[in-house]
Structure 1
Amino acid sequence: MTDTPQHSPRPLRVLAAMSGGVDSAVAAARAAEAGHDVTGVHLALSADPQSFRTGARGCCTIEDSRDARRAADVIGIPFYVWDLADRFREDVVEDFVAEYEAGRTPNPCLRCNEKIKFAALLDKALALGFDAVCTGHYAKIVEHADGGRELHRASDAAKDQSYVLGVLDEKQLAHALFPLGDTVTTKDEIRAEAERRGLTVARKPDSHDICFIADGDTQGFLARRLGTAEGEIVDEAGNRLGTHEGAYGFTIGQRKGLRIGTPAADGKPRYVLDISPVNNTVTVGPAEALDVSALTAIRPRWCGTAPAGPGTYTAQLRAHGGETEVTAEAGAGELTVTFAEPVRGVAPGQAIVLYDGTRVVGSATIASTTRATTGV
């Protein structure tokens, strides 16, 4: 059995998700150049889009829609705008708010890939007779001789986005195209390619932070949605150190913005160790108290067949984080993971993505952790 990068032997009817940025525009152009019958679509995800972005923040604006349309015109493909604002609000935005309210730290990009781009969008594409959805993600699909597919890291490790695609299952992978993942291409080279193709988005800034919080003020966004509720900041012994205006405004491992008036006895910085929405309390302590030796994750999703029995993998815990060696075993609706060496800053609500070499095995949502120093 041979493994090769994804190259379809026949032209496909492809729906290219075009955000209005350079990556998705070049991906659509490459798909069309490969001989596929490509149609571009921009997803209107905001019920009240702004006329213009704020620098590199935000997306899904009127400006982005126009940029995507201009790119489709240059490529020479049909273009449509699909309104998925209600679905996005329910599956991504409301989920984001609910997770923070429950004291967890969600990743909305994973949820969007799972619920919008490769669920709502893909379902509609297949119903309309399309064979695949194409996006500008940097990841690679490897196809076996028997037709089975695997998701792998992009050839350019610096641009790899396989972490946020770890929620895709076998069916979704069968209908996905990632034209940017097969070649070792820097962002500057992608921009240069866009210029050669006459795409005006060649120098458009990348979108950063959370797309539906255009000003980048996550705490302000949550405060507007959840209101303020004064609570206590305490140390591990329960001693009151300060107050806050809402536990949802903190994340595990946070150091800045704690506003603690009393310095620690050892003079060292303190970090958020625990967030309790039940009593609206934030617990802080020393950095070493953040060390985690194991975790339990729920809602596992496998990029293929679920692994049988315990196995040794590497794990990635955040979109731009490194890998760490783990032993993991899938159970009934959950995943238990033990780290070879303790790791820090692991928060419930985050995704853990397992890798076997460059292959994405699957992902799950962290539910609880075991501290290395206390065993709880």
Structure 2
Amino acid sequence: MRVLAAMSGGVDSAVAAARAVDAGHEVVGVHLALSRAGGTLRTGSRGCCTIEDAMDARRASDLLGIPFYVWDFSERFRDDVIDDFINEYRAGRTPNPCMRCNEKIKFAALLERAIELGFDAVCTGHYATLIDGPEGLELHRASDAAKDQSYVLGVLNAEQLAHTYFPLGSTPSKAIVRAEAAERGLTVAQKPDSHDICFIPDGDTRGWLAEKVGTATGEIVDRSGSVVGSHEGAHSFTVGQRRGLSLGTPAADGKPRFVLEVRPVSNTVVVGPKEALAIGEISGDRHSWAGRAPSETAFDCEVQIRAHADPVPARARVDSGVITVLPDTPFEGVAPGQTAVIYDGTRVVGQFTIAHTVSAVPATA
């Protein structure tokens, strides 16, 4: 088949493209230019999609003997990922830009163009597995639990899965991928993995948001509403945060306090004890199914609320387009805006954006 290999400039996408070539597919490499700052340089393992990454992707393509192109998706990335990130923080939510990038860029904009050009599938270096199930294609966790990326792929729907190709999903470890890259002569064999938010390469999310959203002094209150401190912008706080609160009034029990809630309308941050971070119910209405939808409106499952969190056994219910999840044991530190991915064993069932949370610990005066 004709395969468009999305090449980030890292070792995973390079080896994925190489395996697609070995499998006999007609492969073309493409690097997505997502930044308007064309001269952006990479610093260690921070960020991605820089000019150096584009050069690494080109060198890998040349070694593999496949055509290579750079496509400018910077405007779409700005609109669908960066602006969404800013707007979500303005609304007091904590978004996951990698989820939006997969949903809107890599498996929407890129896939749409690939299909228009006659490609059968988009190949990426994600660690996830596709399995032909009894009722259609299924998305499953990767063999390497430490590298599994099925969570960030939970936004893919059945049509998108039908045109994706994950050559690394059954690889037992990242070490094997690096060794294979070295054997192939790929210069990215020992290149560090990227981390943090790619469009904030220095890692200073708080400072970046302050520049984009602005600062405004507001109150920090406890669960009873008593003022215990002040801040320079509610957008710079996330649920579960402990550091950087600078509270003027200590807790009565002397224990540390954590951010429990961000209220953007009143520019207020609510803090409380660690046990108050326990969440007994989450719900949301922005959802999609990775393949077939559940046959029942209520079903047992496992739910993961962060890319590297442990899945939690739960009971999910779908009612009028809203998904509500009751975990067997409370989630900890859940913020509206996060993505909850639903699993049935290793299979990804679907996902939704968390809009509401209910504490498992009642507030006390």
**TM class, shorter-chain normalised?**
over 0.9
Deviation sequence 1:317-363 (CA, Å, 0-9, x none) = 00010010110012232201111111211110000001001000000
What does residue 165 of structure 2 align with? 177
1:151 match: secondary structure: strand
Residues 49 and 60, structure 1, Cα contact 8 Å, conserved in 2: no
What does residue 294 of structure 1 align with? 281
TM-score under structure 2 length normalisation: 0.97
Residues 4 and 121, structure 2, Cα contact 8 Å, conserved in 1: yes
Distance in 2, matches of 1:256 and 1:166, equals: 31
Question: Shift of residue 51 of structure 1?
Answer: 4.3
Residues 150 and 359, structure 1, Cα contact 8 Å, conserved in 2: yes
Q: Does 2:217 align with 1:215?
A: no
Aligned residues: 363
Deviation sequence 1:40-80 (CA, Å, 0-9, x none) = 00000001133420111111111110000000001111000
Question: Shift of residue 203 of structure 1?
Answer: 1.2
Q: Which moved more, 1:186-195 or 1:68-77?
A: 186-195
Q: Give the residue type in structure 2 aligned to 1:318.
A: R
Alpha-carbon spacing, 1:98–1:340, altered in 2? closer, same or farther (3 Å): same
Distance in 2, matches of 1:96 and 1:369, equals: 20
2:354 match: secondary structure: strand
What does residue 238 of structure 1 align with? 225
2:17 match: secondary structure: helix
Question: Shift of residue 145 of structure 1?
Answer: 6.5
What does residue 351 of structure 2 align with? 363
Question: Shift of residue 262 of structure 1?
Answer: 2.1
Deviation sequence 1:159-206 (CA, Å, 0-9, x none) = 10000000000000000000000221x222211110101100111111
Question: Shift of residue 239 of structure 1?
Answer: 1.4
Q: Does 2:69 align with 1:75?
A: no
Question: Shift of residue 265 of structure 1?
Answer: 1.2
TM-score under structure 1 length normalisation: 0.95
Distance in 2, matches of 1:170 and 1:239, equals: 49
Q: Give the residue type in structure 1 aligned to 2:332.
A: R
What does residue 7 of structure 1 align with? none
Q: Does 2:174 align with 1:192?
A: no
Residues 301 and 313, structure 2, Cα contact 8 Å, conserved in 1: yes
Alpha-carbon spacing, 1:69–1:54, altered in 2? closer, same or farther (3 Å): same
Deviation sequence 1:121-159 (CA, Å, 0-9, x none) = 00000000000000000000001367x200000011111
Q: Does 2:38 align with 1:49?
A: yes
Q: Give the residue type in structure 2 aligned to 1:256.
A: R
Show structure 1 runs of 5+ residues with no match.
1-11
Q: Does 2:11 align with 1:28?
A: no
The match for 1:140 among 126, 129, 134 is 129
Q: Does 2:4 align with 1:15?
A: yes
CA RMSD of aligned residues (A): 1.3
Distance in 1, matches of 2:318 and 2:5, equals: 34
Distance in 2, matches of 1:238 and 1:49, equals: 48
